[in-house]
Structure 1
């Protein structure tokens, strides 16, 4: 941008910025935009090759991205590429060779971060085996592809990976096992795969976070000494057997529900029947699905809580969410014997979707009356009384009524804070709750009543 200073003296303030700042600006643009900006000024022209350090390989012009990327890499054969991120490329069968060439080329340029988005294609194009040549990779993200069969020898070439994200990707159990055993510094694994597995078995000395969704019957945490978080927002909707053999640092587990079998050491939970013999004292946060239309749901819930004596934060979601469903199975919220986490540790309860149903009110009152340490209850509200208003935020009058009903005399948590939000909790909350930007905007939709 040129501005007039003094007597007709023009100054281009943007071009006076440092090279590193201009490269950062160009790197945030798509391919076409970065190229056009580079042509406009001789000051910018020599900077375009530097954008390949963080190469954003997508375009808004509709041109053939695969051909363009191939041409750019060929034009600058000696430039390092630390990261390559693609948009929805909609790879054609004839593009498979080009992607193979990219990966072999990038393996010689010190590639550390690779993101391949193959578009929405039911065929899920295969990822070339030349991926295993990229032995400098630290982060890998693939959307809508088929992962190559992975032996331990092949996986060993990816030993520097610290983060793997596979979304809508077909991958075999053997390939997962090979990656876990050979990627010895892997800390974050996201697998949102298609197809069916008998089981997902974790054996990793380095893994800290598992985020998974998929059609499998068993989740076995066999040997994971550093595992801190397990997030599977669909696990509660399947009859998945959860078995925790060794995970001494596990602090978050979710979602679990009455359809899950839970095995922790010698403890087995199946529906409302539970034998509490082994506890998980490290768990600080638990996400639970309440099946409030199933008989015995309150008994099952109280028994579940006894497994986690030091739990501090509890998230509650529900499966029976239709606006027409108001039936609640009979169940008592009388606590016949103490529940350690409620009596000594529980500080925060979050209703991820709050509709003001009978069971929600009774559960909220239960925590409010029984928990001596409760500091906060969050209610993420949703209006589902009619098809016309479905999904909209309830009125402030409705919120005031709920607060009045919940603030009871003689409660244990006398100073508990009630916070009502205008929307349900974000579906990916547990994936991003530690992100600073997400935290900054978390309370912007809260009612001021």
Structure 2
């Protein structure tokens, strides 16, 4: 729970998981996360566009960065992102982040709270720069944590639904205090449920977050998360039982 200025994976052939927990650090500085040689890295997150400067090889990944052999980490198949969807400039970085990991099968996205909204992010934003390989070819599961009902969140989920042809499951965990009934949630999600889902077999599940308040802070268990023989996805340690 200590913020560091720089983390560099220089040459780590045995590294399988790289887990970051830097939420709640509200100073103005960013942390540089540099990924060099890590051929077996399969789990990474939570990356935060507002907190982290992502560097792969010698390239800093920013909005509009094109994918190339020197800017991808093909071994990663589980990725966690924490995004303030109300901040448009932050959302603009997400497509570039996703292009760095072309073989993602499971994507966890946590919607963080912003002090104020700074613009809408339309479907056009997600399509700029060309196809996102992991979405179109490999993504099977998406878990959206702390859904608050904003247009930008719904647009992102609609983009996934209309482009992830191999998607098997989409899980939406609604922020605890956002809605008083499932009917309100269904109304908000109508643009998503009425979208032209490219995968005909995808299952949509909606749950209420067990965390009170607006932050949705989970409880982390280092011993459990590091026990590779018992768990393959450390972001799945939390179970949402109260279905809407």
Instruction: Classify the TM-score, shorter chain.
Output: 0.7 to 0.9
Deviation per residue, 1:405-444 (Å, 9 max, x gap):
42125321232211112215762468546757x9798253
RMSD (Å), alpha carbons: 2.9
Distance 1:384 1:445, change over 3 A: closer
**Other-structure match for 2:198:** 412
1:217 aligns with 2:5: yes
Work out whether residues 236 and 255 of structure 1, in 8 Å CA contact, stay in contact via their aligned partners in 2: no
Deviation per residue, 1:208-257 (Å, 9 max, x gap):
xxxxx312100111222111111112169561101112211111111212
Distance 1:250 1:314, change over 3 A: same
Tell me how far apart the structure 2 counterparts of residues 232 and 218 of structure 1 sit (CA, whole Å).
12
Work out whether residues 295 and 329 of structure 1, in 8 Å CA contact, stay in contact via their aligned partners in 2: yes
> May I ask how many residue pairs the two structures share in their alignment?
223
Distance 1:358 1:328, change over 3 A: farther
Mapping for residues 315-330 of structure 1, pairs under 5 Å: 315-320=108-113, 327-330=117-120
**Other-structure match for 1:226:** 14
Mapping for residues 299-448 of structure 1, pairs under 5 Å: 299-320=92-113, 327-334=117-124, 335-336=127-128, 337-385=130-178, 394-423=180-209, 424=211, 427-428=218-219, 432=224, 442-447=239-244
Tell me which of the two structures has the higher relative contact order, counting C-alpha pairs closer than 8 angstroms and 6 or more residues apart. 2
Mapping for residues 62-101 of structure 1, pairs under 5 Å: none
SS of 1:220's partner is strand
Distance 1:404 1:230, change over 3 A: same
1:276 aligns with 2:67: yes
Distance 1:441 1:348, change over 3 A: closer
**Other-structure match for 1:118:** none
1:295 aligns with 2:88: yes
Work out whether residues 235 and 255 of structure 1, in 8 Å CA contact, stay in contact via their aligned partners in 2: no
Tell me how far apart the structure 2 counterparts of residues 243 and 409 of structure 1 sit (CA, whole Å).
37
1:247 aligns with 2:38: yes
SS of 1:214's partner is coil
Deviation per residue, 1:269-294 (Å, 9 max, x gap):
14x25353321001011111213343
Tell me how far apart the structure 2 counterparts of residues 293 and 400 of structure 1 sit (CA, whole Å).
21
Structure with bigger helix share is 1
Distance 1:429 1:396, change over 3 A: farther
SS of 2:65's partner is strand
Distance 1:422 1:409, change over 3 A: closer
Using the TM superposition, give the Cα deviation of residue 308 of structure 1 relative to its aligned residue in structure 2, in angstroms.
Answer: 0.4
SS of 1:415's partner is coil
SS of 1:262's partner is strand
**Other-structure match for 2:58:** 266
Tell me how far apart the structure 2 counterparts of residues 440 and 273 of structure 1 sit (CA, whole Å).
33
Tell me how far apart the structure 2 counterparts of residues 247 and 314 of structure 1 sit (CA, whole Å).
20
Distance 1:430 1:370, change over 3 A: farther
Work out whether residues 172 and 207 of structure 2, in 8 Å CA contact, stay in contact via their aligned partners in 1: yes
Structure 2 stretches lacking a partner, 5+ long: none
Distance 1:399 1:345, change over 3 A: same
Work out whether residues 353 and 381 of structure 1, in 8 Å CA contact, stay in contact via their aligned partners in 2: yes
